[in-house]
Amino acid sequence: MNASSVAKPSGWFGWTACLATQNQDLDSSPGGIKQNIMLLLGIDLGTSSIKVAVTDSATHKVLATAQFPDTEATIISRQPGWAEQSPDLWWDYVRQAILRAHASGAYDPADIGAIGIAYQMHGLVLVDRGQKVLRDSIIWCDSRAVPYGDRAFAAIGQRRSLDRLLNSPGNFTAAKLAWVKENEPAVYARIDKILLPGDFIALRLTGEATTHISALSEGIFWDFASNSLSEDVFHFFGFDKALIPEIRPLFSRHGGVKTDVAAPLGLKAGIPVSYKAGDQPNNALSLNVLEPGEVAATAGTSGVIYVVSDKATYDPQSRVNSFAHVNYTPESTRVGVLLCINGTGILNRWIRDLTGGPGGWDYARLNAAAAAIAAGSAGLKILPFGNGAERIFHNRIIGAQLLDVDLNVHGAAHIYRAGQEGIAFSFRYGLDIMRENGMQPSVIRAGKANMFLSSVFTEAFVNATNVPVELYNSDGSVGASLGAGIGAGAFASAKEAFAGLKPLQLVEPRDATVYEGLYQEWREKLDKFLK
């Protein structure tokens, strides 16, 4: 399939004319939407939980948010380096979260007019002709496919891979599919469609299997030079292109909610899923990071810095990765350059559970204890890399490390602070790679959530990177709801969708010299593990 066979939007923000003919709730005026479509449902499929938000498109007010489950979802690890989750369990969690939001009584579910989905990136979901899931999803932090990506990189050639894919095939979705093909041939033989996690949730809602260029690029299926599915990747791995769902614009109709799904959820049948994006492009969208030079960050289970470029740029060593952003089109290049640290909030949670028992300490108490310790944690250092192969280390697994422990000095609070400082230092390490590639952020936007709720982490991040951070009342599920509004034509543009977005707080470097010394000490320890 080449670029000419991919349906193109009317402007980057939607397929309005197409939607008008397919959804009885939309009128036929350009960008038009009837007054009874007022509310937008956003779904954020995370590693730890499902979050949903319902936003009023007229006022931009968030009417309700909900999360399910209450405890963090399990990652199945049958072997070291493996990480899987059940797609059917995701779907159950999505429904529970939607019903929990409805239970707030803050809105009439029948007024929801469009749905947007954000999702954990790079996962592999396999379904048969009956749309039945064939195996648990191999998720983003699973490391088993590294050798498959390495072999493809060598066979395709470094220069050709980077010029056309913007990445090494690495440990992404295509390499995961290659692992299934070789190790589970009976499963592979039954595949009808391969899906990213967000494509799967849309499939369950609508019964339609669709995808988009941004999703295909994050899976390393897309050739940016030809603007088509990669002949190199499909040929080397021996994949049939028929496995790929129909490609549609990201902001467009990806099907209407089925009657048998809508009824138990209190939704109107036929309302469109009008937006799907990976969690990091969606986080950038939710922070109105759409134009070249703008930068977003997040620090959830994993940590990310995401820079938008108007060039098909790449890191020669694939330590940071480039994917089509939400507003990428073949005619207008918008690429998100993504630094990912796998071991971020997952380390913070592991420390909390280890020292206080699961649920024994809430994060506010942990953060307060960490704040009582001076910067540097009395010499205690933590390398947070215990969540699979890290791209910044050429897909090596070095494990999390607790270093320079003094049994007469260090207590639990020192571990809390050292963990958060170690995470911040890992961001600095990755940002230096981005700087090598010509990216020099002057300010970073982030939602005031997850690790950015901790003053210790936020101050360590700002001072270690020496870059100010603007914190926003932003959330992935809210971003997904606004994305749904863009795709459905409730907003004339992204600018209109984010007209009310204002920073809550600006955090500027104040102790950069102190943290530079602490970072160099931490870096010296890291370098010993990388030799």
Same domain, 186 and 263: yes
> Is residue 176 assigned to a domain?
yes
Q: What share of the chain is helix, strand, coil (3-state, %, to 5)?
A: 40, 20, 40
Model pLDDT for residues 33-61, shown as the tens digit of each residue: 344 458 999 999 999 999 999 999 999 99
Same domain, 255 and 360: no
> Is residue 45 assigned to a domain?
yes
> Is residue 237 assigned to a domain?
yes
Secondary structure string (H, E, C) spanning 72-133: CCCCECCCCCCCEECHHHHHHHHHHHHHHHHCCCCCCHHHEEEEEEEECCCCEEEECCCCCE
Please list, residue by residue across 243-268, b when 16 or more beta carbons sit within 10 angstroms of its beta carbon and e when fewer do.
Answer: bbbebbbbbbbbbbbbeebbeebebb
In DSSP terms, which residues pair with 43 in a beta bridge? 52, 117
pLDDT at 495: 85
pLDDT at 268 over 50: yes
Q: Which of 242, 260, 286 is the last residue of a domain?
A: 286
76: nearest Cα among 136, 123, 134 = 136
Backbone φ and ψ for 327, nearest 5 degrees, come out as -105, 20
With beta carbons less than 8 A apart as the criterion, state whether 303 and 48 touch: no
- Cα–chain-centroid distance for residue 89? 19
The CA-based angle 336-58-53, given to 5 degrees, is 55
Model pLDDT for residues 275-297, shown as the tens digit of each residue: 999 999 999 999 999 999 999 99
pLDDT at 2 over 90: no
Model pLDDT for residues 395-408, shown as the tens digit of each residue: 999 999 999 999 99
Percent of the chain with pLDDT over 90: 87
Q: Which residue has the tokens 């239970």?
A: 103
Same domain, 47 and 180: yes
Domain count, the chain: 2
> Is residue 115 assigned to a domain?
yes
pTM: 0.88
What is the DSSP-derived secondary structure letter of residue 390?
A: B
- For residue 187, CA distances in Å to 82, 104, 198 come to 18, 42, 21
The CA-based angle 54-58-60, given to 5 degrees, is 50
**Distance (Å, whole) CA 492 – CA 285:** 15
Same domain, 85 and 174: yes
215: nearest Cα among 107, 95, 326 = 326
Model pLDDT for residues 191-226, shown as the tens digit of each residue: 999 999 999 999 999 999 999 999 999 999 999 999
423: nearest Cα among 340, 506, 322, 493 = 340
pLDDT at 359: 60
Same domain, 351 and 281: no
Segment 253-275 shows an average pLDDT of 98
Token digits for 211?
């995808």
Same domain, 362 and 510: yes
Task: Return the CA Rg of the chain.
Answer: 22
Same domain, 154 and 268: yes
Query: Do the bridges between strand 112-119 and strand 137-138 make them parallel or antiparallel, or are there none, so unpaired?
Result: unpaired
> Is residue 8 assigned to a domain?
yes
Neighbours of 299 (CB within 10 A): 27
With beta carbons less than 8 A apart as the criterion, state whether 44 and 50 touch: yes
Q: Which of 224, 258, 286 is the last residue of a domain?
A: 286
Q: Which of 286, 316, 348 is the last residue of a domain?
A: 286
| Maximum alpha-carbon separation in the chain | 73
DSSP characters for 485-499? Answer: HHHHTSSSSHHHHTT
Query: Do the bridges between strand 335-341 and strand 228-229 make them parallel or antiparallel, or are there none, so unpaired?
Result: unpaired
With beta carbons less than 8 A apart as the criterion, state whether 516 and 143 touch: no
**pLDDT interval class at 5 (50, 70, 90):** very low
Domain of 277: which CATH number? 3.30.420.40
Segment 247-273 shows an average pLDDT of 98
> Is residue 305 assigned to a domain?
no
With beta carbons less than 8 A apart as the criterion, state whether 131 and 203 touch: yes
> Is residue 151 assigned to a domain?
yes
128: nearest Cα among 71, 186, 51, 69 = 186
Same domain, 193 and 88: yes
88 lies in which domain range? 3-286
pLDDT at 474: 86
> Is residue 332 assigned to a domain?
no
Same domain, 281 and 351: no
pLDDT at 293: 95
Mean pLDDT of the chain: 92
278: nearest Cα among 343, 189, 218, 206 = 218
